[in-house]
Amino acid sequence: MYELYHWFDLLGVAVFAISGTLLAHEKNMDGFGVIVLAAVTAIGGGTLRDMLLDVPVFWVYDTSYFITILVTVFITIMWLNYKPNFPHYCLQLADALGIAFFAIMGAQKALELGVPAMTAVIMAVLTGCFGGVIRDVLAREVPMLLKGPLYAIACVVGAGLYILLVHLGTNPELAMWLGGIATLLVRLIAIRWNLGLYVFRYPS
């Protein structure tokens, strides 16, 4: 089971590293800027989660996370140099995949430590969203968390489903997949139809 969790973590890191690299390309950053933006996107949310849960930060003693980031950045750079004009939805898709992986991993780790279900949902949101928040702040963008269609809500829905399935005795692997798919679908549907929790009457 640990191996499965580890691979989920690495997949989430890779997808978020792609997201950070795409935004760095959009902002015309140099090589160091690309690596920094990719790294903070990939490990920022998990780092905050582990600090709040008072456990060792997941990447400190495991270099596989940084190796994954560097390899992903290199491949993405090669792709962007070959095909520099990527549609903006590629960034949104990479970000949606990233939160789908990380939200469930955040909830799983929190439950493993015995925290209440509501706290596990909060940890899912932090894990899934705050790497992207740091990325957007560094790139001088309004964070997707604050304006993106159902960004945090997608994490809440997916993590809530995962936690419910675990409490009902569902196979943990199946619960993870279903929770991740639910997170991804909510986010993609919200992007497609621009759904959000709008409370003000904006002219547009």
Enclosing domain of residue 126: 2-193
Residue 203 belongs to some domain of the structure: no
Task: Please tell me the total count of domains within the chain.
Answer: 1
- Residue-wise pLDDT for 79-90, tens only, equals 999 887 777 677
Domain membership of residue 202 (yes or no) is: no
The arithmetic mean of pLDDT across residues 89-100, rounded, is 86
Give, in order, the Cα–Cα distances in Å from 35 to each of 8, 109, 134, 158.
21, 27, 14, 29
**Could you tell me if residue 200 is inside a domain?**
no
For residue 1, pLDDT beyond 80: no
Arithmetic mean of pLDDT, 23-29:
92
Lowest mean pLDDT among 23-37, 53-67, 143-157, 180-194: 143-157
Q: Helices (DSSP H) in the chain: which residue ranges?
A: 2-26, 31-52, 64-82, 89-112, 117-138, 144-147, 151-167, 172-193
Rounded Cα distance between 82 and 97, Å, is: 23
Q: Report if residue 170 sits inside a domain.
A: yes
Question: Residue type for 82, please?
Answer: Y
**What distance in Å separates the CA atoms of residue 99 and residue 101, rounded to the nearest whole number?**
5
Report the alpha-carbon distance of residue 188 to residue 186 in Å, rounded: 6
The yes-or-no verdict on residue 160 having pLDDT over 90 is yes
**Stretch 171-184: mean pLDDT:** 94
